[in-house]
Chains A and B, each alone.
Chain A
Amino acid sequence: MQQQYAPSGTATTPPALTFNGDGGTYFGILIVNTLLSIITLGLYYPWAKANKLQYLYSSTELDGSRFSWNGTGKEMFIGFIKTMGIFIGVLIIVSLLNWAKLPLLGGLFYLAFFLFIVPLAIHGANRYHWSRTTWRGIRFGYRGKRQEFLNLFLKEIALTIVTLGFYGAWAIMNIRNYVVSHIRFGSGEFRYEGNGKDYFFLNLKGYLLTLVTLGIYSFWWQADIFRYSVDKLRLTHGDKEFTFRSTATGGDFAGLLIVNFLLIIFTLGIAFAWVQTRTITFLMSHVEIAGDVALGELEQTEEEYKNAMGEDLADTFDLGII
């Protein structure tokens, strides 16, 4: 590969993403989490999640330095309580409407609630999650505007419904473009430029070929989807830029997923921790970064944001954003 030179004349090799997590330790964390969640009847969940994320982030390295996730169980527990409050409130309103013999109004209210709460959850979760992620002491951040995102989301969902789902690929791309392009890495800015048409035909091709090949093509489809989410991503800092490229082929994915499947089957599920760590290792090691951003020049620009309610709301819907 061609060596890139920074203006100062020092050679900058593009950084690599690596994951050093150890399945055994991760397994222990999940076990302890499960144990404590059982004993506390689930109340431990926010702390369990914090433990898990702290370990996963701290095991991920960029350019030799580890990421850090600084969220706490307490923050997420408070978010959890608020989330429960909202749900109880909604249930009370719906049952009041039912009691007043207005079940149709209740149903509509319910629907509207979900339509609005999902984008709000995505927004809140991104704000909290990125603000609590740091690398070399520099915070990530999410700068999306709530109202803007809400409008965008509702518009995309409406169009998807009107077109009986065909617009889905465009909707996913527009939403992803908005969210990812508002993520900051200190003074660095992420950009995502997905295209609904490309994504639609990528999936159409994947779907048809998977049918024709009786499922075998699904690994290549998976590789295409992963490549699309990586290759359209950029990180810009001033006039400098990093581009990302996936080197994972369908064959690579087949190897990963088939071994994962066998591990799960033959250990009766006990290997799930190892399956997760080797999947993360796989994904990280197949992302290639190229460009001239000097990571050491990224500055602290993002504020701290400790409201975890969006994170918990997103959890409730199992949105799995990150």
Chain B
Amino acid sequence: MFKGYYYNHQVAKAIPVTIQLFTESLQLELTREEGMPSRKLQWLFTEIDVQVVDRNFLRMTYTGTGTEAGTLEVNDPVFVKMFLEKHKPSRSTGIQQLVLRGGLKVSLIGLALMIGLLLAGHFFILPWCADKVVDQLPLSFDKKLGQTARNSVNETVDSARSRLLTDFAAQMKWETTDSLTFSVVPSNVENAYALPGGYVVVYTGLLEKLHTKEQLAALLAHEVAHVTCRHSVRKLCRDMSSTLLVTLVFSNSSGATSALYSNANSLYSLTYSRQYEQQADLYGMQTLRRNHIDQHGMLQLLQELKKLDNKLKIPEFISTHPLTNNRIQYVERNLASHPASYKSNDKMEEIFRQLQKANHK
């Protein structure tokens, strides 16, 4: 027996009732004014609309036909619990009910779930979308982005050595529709980088460490692979995907592209993921094989880099290219699984000697 209030939908009078709960129905016994006979109502579970307000309070409205139209309100946690055990439809109406009955605990789980969802969106879904967007962008976009980045940095180019490097690269066939530009920049930094649109820059610091033309060819192949795989555009779009989404929502697509351009500067400080580096290494080796250049050049290049790695000063090229040992391993595996013949190329050898001579001036 439980206590509740019944409202007859005709007048705002709270009529106290005692409630009996059965498996398929409930019985309401209305308390009448003194001297009046009491009245009983029988409500089948199929004839009521139930609103669970919280774990203490239930409201049900009779939807069946007849003159019994009315609302019952019960403020009793024991009744709520027992009723929900018997009344299956309202028990299984989803997470909203969980929150209403569970209070703060369920709320916090909900919050954790939402944060999880947002993180998943940020780390997986948005980057995936960003990749799809990059696939749609025309190559001219890369070119323009690269130019913007190029113009924003003042690096004096060593024109003589740049010409030699360009000649050297011209000896190789590049499978790309981009026009490639190769330059040498005098700097102690042992680094090389590629900007979208085909700007490949090698610092003299790194150039002087290379001993064979195969190493240089491998380095260029690696950098060009970054260009053809559009790694920097992908990385930029991924990094900025959340910002871009917000810009897209609040302004329009031109706003989004201008946001990208204004971040062209950051192309210089991009660090690629290990996945991109591996792709560039393996893609570079393909380029070497296609050009009949000894693909061991890639392995030697990495070993050369590893030596730099062992020095006290951590060279920039290494710090942005993590786990050289790991790279050596998969390059060795790739060498074993793709044996290829190679021809000696005197012209390249000759240009490489000239480059070396220029280095030692």
In the complex, A38 has a CB within 8 A of chain B = yes
Contact B104–A31 (Cβ < 8 Å):
no
Contact of B12 among A35, A58, A135 (CB under 8 A): A135
**Chain A residue at smallest Cβ distance from B9:** A137
Please name the residue on chain B nearest to A27 by beta carbon. Answer: B107
With most chain B CB atoms within 10 A of its CB, the pick from A25, A39, A296 is A25
Q: Which residues of A contact B (CB under 8 A)?
A: 22, 24-25, 27-29, 31-32, 34-35, 38-39, 51, 54-55, 58-59, 64-66, 68, 134-138, 186, 270, 295-300
Q: Is the CB of B12 within 8 A of A295?
A: yes
CB neighbors of A among B296-327 (8 A): none
| Contacting residues of chain B (1-39) with chain A, CB-CB under 8 angstroms | 5, 7-14
B170 within 8 A of A: no
Q: Is the CB of A58 within 8 A of B9?
A: no
Known: A25-B104, A137-B71. A297 touches B12 (CB 8 A): yes
Beyond A31-B110, A31-B111, A137-B7, is A68–B51 a contact (Cβ under 8 Å)? yes
Q: Tell me the smallest distance from the CB of B202 to a CB of chain A, in Å.
A: 46
Determine whether the beta carbon of A54 is less than 8 Å from that of B51.
Answer: yes
Are A68 and B59 touching (Cβ within 8 A)?
Answer: yes
Q: Which residue of A lies closest to B107 (CB)?
A: A28
**B99 touches A (CB below 8 Å):** yes
B117 on the A face (CB < 8 A):
yes
24 contacts between A and B (CB under 8 A): A22-B104, A25-B54, A25-B99, A25-B107, A28-B103, A28-B104, A31-B99, A31-B110, A32-B95, A32-B96, A32-B110, A38-B114, A58-B53, A58-B54, A58-B59, A65-B14, A66-B73, A68-B51, A136-B12, A136-B71, A137-B8, A137-B9, A299-B11, A300-B11
Residues of A within 8 A of B114 (CB): 31, 34-35, 38
The reply on B106 being an interface residue by CB < 8 A is yes
Given contacts A31-B107, A138-B12, A300-B10, 5 further A-B contacts (CB under 8 A): A25-B100, A35-B113, A54-B51, A66-B53, A296-B14
Choose among B53, B71, B73 the residue that contacts A55 (Cβ–Cβ < 8 A).
B53
**Which chain B residue lies CB-closest to A65?**
B14
Q: A296 contacts B95, CB within 8 Å?
A: no
A64 — which chain B residues lie within 8 A by C-beta? 14
- Chain B residues with CB under 8 Å of A297's CB are 11-13
The residue that A25 contacts in the complex, of B11, B59, B103, with Cβ under 8 A, is B103
Tell me if B102 is interfacial: C-beta within 8 Å of chain A.
Answer: yes
B70 is an interface residue with CB less than 8 A from chain A: yes
Between B5, B53, B113, the greatest number of chain A beta carbons within 10 A of the residue's beta carbon is seen for B53
A296 CA to B324 CA in the complex, in Å? 83
Q: Nearest chain-B residue to A48 (Cβ)?
A: B96
Q: How far apart are the CA atoms of A138 and B10 in the complex, in Å?
A: 7
